Amino acid sequence: MAQTPKQLCAALLYRSYPRLTRAPVNLESEEMLSAVVERLMKALREARPGNVRQFFKIANQHMRWELNDVCRRLDNQIRAVEIDPEVPAPPDTSASQLTPIARRMFEAIDELPQEEREVFELVKIQGMTQVEAAALLDVTDRTVLRRLNRAVLILTQKLGDLGPASESRAEL
């Protein structure tokens, strides 16, 4: 069963950007959905998707852009804090979920070939099942699986230095 736009926003927000759901932002999926709908309405004035598949591609991109923009704004805020010399400083929890590594990962996803990127976004980012993605894309389940495997292989090659195996080799 396909997810509603609100469910897609909630899944992406809580799974990939949980820090934005806490103070000081306290972003909720309804707020994100409103911002994404506004972005989509502006985008759809110029680009008309020819089918549901193209719409999902545009919607997915705008959801990621909206969350990345919120992270950037949060990272650029200057915080004024009164320092009490007798209280130890709390651990830094203000770092954005969008680290340089996360940015590199999103860039690698954006650089995937179109068919692989589309399947990867539908299954891994939007949380659709492979069967749902196959129905939406009007291809077989095996085609979705093949494209997904190819996307993972490409991402593994591009981002392989981020894995735990490379960290253990670096320690040697």
By C-alpha distance, which of 99, 81, 78, 90 is closest to 19?
A: 99
Q: Is residue 93 a part of any domain in this protein?
A: no
C-alpha to C-alpha distance for 12 and 60, rounded to whole angstroms: 10
Which domain covers residue 17, as residue numbers? Answer: 5-76+98-162
C-alpha to C-alpha distance for 96 and 73, rounded to whole angstroms: 10
Least confident of 41-55, 63-77, 107-121: 63-77
Q: Is residue 41 a part of any domain in this protein?
A: yes
C-alpha to C-alpha distance for 22 and 27, rounded to whole angstroms: 7
pLDDT at 168: 47
User: 130 Cβ partners below 8 Å, 6+ apart?
Assistant: 123, 141, 144, 145, 148
User: Where does the pLDDT of residue 90 fall: very low under 50, low under 70, confident under 90, or very high at 90 and above?
Assistant: low
CB 125 within 8 A of CB 82: no
Q: Is residue 167 a part of any domain in this protein?
A: no
Q: Is residue 132 a part of any domain in this protein?
A: yes
DSSP 160: G
CATH of the domain at 59: 1.10.10.10
pLDDT at 18: 79
pLDDT at 94: 47
At 12-26, the pLDDT tens digits run 778 877 777 777 777
Q: Is residue 35 a part of any domain in this protein?
A: yes
CB 8 within 8 A of CB 126: yes
Q: Is residue 150 a part of any domain in this protein?
A: yes
Q: Is residue 86 a part of any domain in this protein?
A: no
Domain count along the chain: 1
CB 146 within 8 A of CB 130: no
C-alpha to C-alpha distance for 66 and 25, rounded to whole angstroms: 14
Q: Is the pLDDT of residue 169 over 50?
A: no
Per the prediction, the chain carries an average pLDDT of: 78
Q: Is residue 116 a part of any domain in this protein?
A: yes
